[in-house]
Structure 1
Amino acid sequence: MKNIIFDIGNILLSFQPELYLEKHFSPPQMGDLMMIIFASDEWVELDMGTMMIQDAIDSLTLKHPHYHDEIISVLENWTQMLIPITENVEIAYELKKKGYHLYLLSNFHKEAIQTMYQQYDFFDIFEGGVISAEEKVVKPDEEIYTILLERYHLNPEESLFIDDSLANIKAGNRLGIQGIHLPYLANLKEELKKIGLL
């Protein structure tokens, strides 16, 4: 194994919108906003790179005028929900020190990923990455995995992919990439020890 590929959301950065919404809105509002924003076609289009944040705000406030101000507040500030998962970031540094090549493969909005790169210097240890909004394709579409493999000349049999979605792991498996399915807050160190990488 030479290459370790990391998802970002809930692997390197915690993304739990329910907790954020709970702090700022009443329970009925929270439930509505979860559906209106995070289960919307617009959210998918942000990941696809076919919409920017202002486009999503315009579209969603038009559809849901009774939540106009709340939608704007959430979408203008949603990157505050993204908090480093310290233990997994430390493991990434440990893997780098051991000589593994680190890469990113994530469904992520174009504007948000630039904010994260500027905010957190641990992204500097990654040699490259493929972000859905920049490629106009999202996991688990096999095309996004192929883009990563070809762009960085990676042998899939020498590559391990860590993601919180089983469907995303299975898509990588079909291309020969070994995977660790890591549900939110599962123990990454234990999983890596099981396969002899730590």
Structure 2
Amino acid sequence: MKNIIFDIGNVLLDFQPEKYLQKHFNASVMGDLMMIIFSSDEWIELDMGTMMIQDAIESLTLKHPHYHDEIIFVMENWTHMMTPLEKNVEIVKELKEKGYHLYLLSNFHKEAIQTMFQRYDFFQLFEGGIISANEQLVKPDQKIYQLLLQRYHLQAEESLFIDDMLSNIKMAEELHIHGLYLPYQADLRTELEKRHIL
């Protein structure tokens, strides 16, 4: 194994919108905002790179005027919930020291990923990566995996992909990339030790 490919949300950065919304809203409003924002077509378009944050705010507030202020607050501040999963970040550093080539493969909004790259310097450990919004492709579309392999001249059989969504792992494995399914809060170190990578 030469290349380790990381998803970002819930693998490198904590992404638990319900927990975040609970801090600011009551249970009823939280439930509504989860549906209105995080299950919206606009959220998918942000990942696809076919919509920017201001467009999404305009669209969502037009559809849900009774939550106008709440939508704006969440859309302008949600990246603050994304804090490093420190144990996994430490593993990234160890893998780099061991000589593995590190890459990113993530569904992420354009503006939000720029914020993350500026906020957290551990992203500098990665040699490259594919972010959905920059390519207008999202996992688990096989084209996004193929693009990663082609752009960085990677051999699928020499690459391990870590993701918290089973559907994303299954597509990687169809393309002969080794998959490591990592449900939220699963122990990455144990999984990598099992595979003799750490």
Task: Indicate the residue corresponding to 1:131 in structure 2.
Answer: 131
Task: Indicate the residue corresponding to 1:72 in structure 2.
Answer: 72
Task: Indicate the residue corresponding to 2:5 in structure 1.
Answer: 5
CA positional deviation for 1:40:
0.3
CA positional deviation for 1:167:
0.3
Mapped pair 1:18 → 2:11 = no
In 2, the alpha carbon distance for the partners of 1:101 and 1:117 equals: 18
In 2, the alpha carbon distance for the partners of 1:126 and 1:29 equals: 38
TM-score by length of 2: 1.00
CA RMSD of aligned residues (A): 0.3
In 2, the alpha carbon distance for the partners of 1:51 and 1:79 equals: 17
In 2, the alpha carbon distance for the partners of 1:74 and 1:189 equals: 33
Deviations 1:115-147 (CA, angstroms, capped at 9, x unpaired)? 000000000000000000000010000000000
Task: Indicate the residue corresponding to 2:94 in structure 1.
Answer: 94
TM-score by length of 1: 1.00
Task: Count residues in correspondence.
Answer: 198
In 1, the alpha carbon distance for the partners of 2:180 and 2:77 equals: 31
- The amino acid that maps onto 1:80 is H
Task: Indicate the residue corresponding to 2:168 in structure 1.
Answer: 168
CA positional deviation for 1:60:
0.3
CA positional deviation for 1:186:
0.2
In 2, the alpha carbon distance for the partners of 1:69 and 1:122 equals: 34
SS of the residue 1:129 aligns to: strand
In 2, the alpha carbon distance for the partners of 1:69 and 1:77 equals: 12
Equivalent residue runs for 1:1-198 within 5 Å: 1-198=1-198
Query: Unmatched 5+ residue regions in structure 1?
Result: none
| Runs of 4 or more consecutive aligned structure 1 residues displaced over 3 Å after TM superposition | none
CA positional deviation for 1:149:
0.2
Indicate the percent of aligned positions where both proteins have the same amino acid: 72
Deviations 1:36-80 (CA, angstroms, capped at 9, x unpaired)? 000000000000000000000000000000000000000000100
Deviations 1:10-42 (CA, angstroms, capped at 9, x unpaired)? 000000000110000011000000000000000
SS of the residue 1:186 aligns to: coil
